[in-house]
Amino acid sequence: MTLISRFKQELVDSISIKQNVNLIRKHDKNLDNGGDFSFPSLENNRVWSSSCDASEVVNKSKNFSSMKVDKIVKDGKCCQVFVDRNLALKSFFNGKCRRKHSGTFEVQNLEDPLKSDLTSERVKLLAQILENCLILVGVPLSTHFTLGTSKRKDSLETHDVTKHLQVGPVLGPDGKKFVRVVQEYKSQVLSHIEALDQERNDPQESEEVRLARLDTLVSAQVLFDLVSTSPASATTISSTTGSSCATFVLYNSARISQIIYSFHASVDQGIYPDLPPYPDWSLLDQSEEWEIFFVYILPYPDILEDAVNNLKLHRITIHLIGLSNCLSRYYSRVKILRDPLPKLIPVMHTRIGFLKEVQKIIRSSLDILGLQDLNKM
């Protein structure tokens, strides 16, 4: 059970016995004012089977094994829950790794491997993403997964569970099935990305390095275009190939790498002291830092569980795009590397440690998607 799942269960149990955890809603925005979670008013007798007040819930949370409640604020017909941020950060970063399920799995692509259309490529990519995700997360039982464009569902007696994912087609701007082959579409994407790349590339770099970067960006953008919508639904390809969400994700990843590299280079030069064994996570006091943690780092195990259990594989790319948007806002307001003054070193150390945790999430996601990271752009 993930940290969020455990907290929701402990919270609902502290209010009333045998209530559904779906009554607890996790928030993704306006966290400073709207709280981190919410649930129906404690005065609603049709929802809660026993009476309980907010102060009692806050007090009970001191014994939670997940996170603690800082305060509960009544807002109309619901209660807003603010968790203790310092304890949540410390609990997560200093806690143990999530246990992997011990079952076995098999992923089978039912499409013709010789087909080169974009719909077949979509099935192929989703099958690989699922397999990579399963390697990381595992399944509790012996499970056979099948993917294809038809409703066909194979069952093997050697497996406890069989799951089939019927993948939706790739459509063009006219709403009809997109007939272009993969290589033709990649050429179209390359033309668009080359124009964007000219704004950022280093004039001194070799042609080999430039082409390798472009190949990485094209592969990433094609994948994002094909798998960023629900696998069971159709996905529509733009006629202009104007999307650059994958480039944005990789750019932000490269930015993190450059900041971390610059920090360690300064440590080697004696400008900064090296990172302490345990950063002071309470120094992460910016609203964007809490948003990055609460919305994107903390729920990452839940994203992977959902991808495996409910085959919502598109959530991985959506998660990366949202994280990159949040990071971009963070960079524009918060300076990470500061002057080497004693009073500034502790918060800089904590922020570097924080970015390393963010980097783990991004690299883990890219590995699952089968994509390469970029050290610089």
Using the predicted structure, report yes or no on whether residue 152 has a pLDDT greater than 80: no
Q: Tokens at residue 322, please? A: 């949202």
The mean of the pLDDT values for the chain is 90
Span 287-318, pLDDT tens digits: 999 999 999 999 999 999 999 999 999 999 99
- Give the β-pairing of 170-171 and 105-109: unpaired
How does pLDDT run across 353-364, given as a tens digit for each residue?
A: 999 999 999 999
The pLDDT score that the predictor gives to residue 377 is: 64
| d(C-alpha 184, C-alpha 204), whole Å | 30
What pLDDT shows up at residue 348?
Answer: 97
| Contact between residue 314 and residue 231 where contact means Cβ atoms under 8 Å apart | yes
Percent of the chain with pLDDT over 90: 68
pLDDT, residue 194, reads: 85
Q: Is the pLDDT of residue 36 over 90?
A: yes
The pLDDT, as a whole number, for residue 307 is 95
* pLDDT of 352 higher than 80: yes
**Domains recognised in the chain with CATH numbers:** 3-83 (no CATH), 99-377 (1.10.730.10)
* Dist. CA 92–CA 301, nearest whole Å: 12
- Which region holds residue 19: left if phi is over 0, alpha if psi is between -120 and 50, else beta? beta
Residue in the block written with tokens 């900041």: 259
Helices (H), the chain: 3-15, 31-34, 54-60, 85-93, 118-137, 182-197, 207-227, 245-268, 287-291, 300-309, 314-333, 345-369
Give the model's pLDDT for residue 48: 84
pTM, rounded to two decimals:
0.91
Quote the pLDDT of residue 195.
79
Distance of CA 297 to the CA centre of its chain: 7
Amino acid 161: pLDDT: 86
Q: Which residue has the higher pLDDT, 269 or 192?
A: 269
CB 69 within 8 A of CB 58: yes
**87: number of CA atoms within 13 Å, CB side?**
15
DSSP letter string over 93-136? HTSPPPPPP---EEEEE-S-TT--BHHHHHHHHHHHHHHHHHHH
Give pLDDT, residue 98: 62
- Given a contact cutoff of 8 angstroms between Cβ atoms, the answer to whether 4 and 299 are in contact is yes
Helical axes 118-137 vs 345-369, angle rounded to 10°: 130
Spacing of C-alpha 227 from chain mean position: 14
Question: In degrees rounded to 5, what are phi and psi of residue 104?
Answer: -110, 160
Using an 8 Å Cβ cutoff, are 199 and 251 in contact? no
> What proportion of the chain, given as a percentage, has pLDDT over 70?
94
Question: What average pLDDT does the segment 74-83 reach?
Answer: 93
pLDDT > 80? residue 167: yes
**CA 176 → CA 55, 221, 360, distances in Å?**
57, 21, 39
Under the banding of pLDDT at 50, 70 and 90, the label for residue 155 is: low
Q: Is the CA virtual torsion 29, 32, 36, 38 positive or negative?
A: negative
Tell me the two tokens of residue 369: 């998607």
Whether the pLDDT of residue 39 is over 90: the answer is: yes
Q: What is the pLDDT of residue 208?
A: 86
Mean pLDDT of 129-152: 92
Contacts by residues 270-275 (CB-CB < 8 Å, ≥ 24 positions apart): 271/340, 272/340, 272/345, 272/348, 273/345, 275/349, 275/352, 275/353
- pLDDT at position 241 is 59
The mean pLDDT value for 63-82 works out to 93
Per-residue pLDDT band for 265 (boundaries 50, 70, 90) equals very high
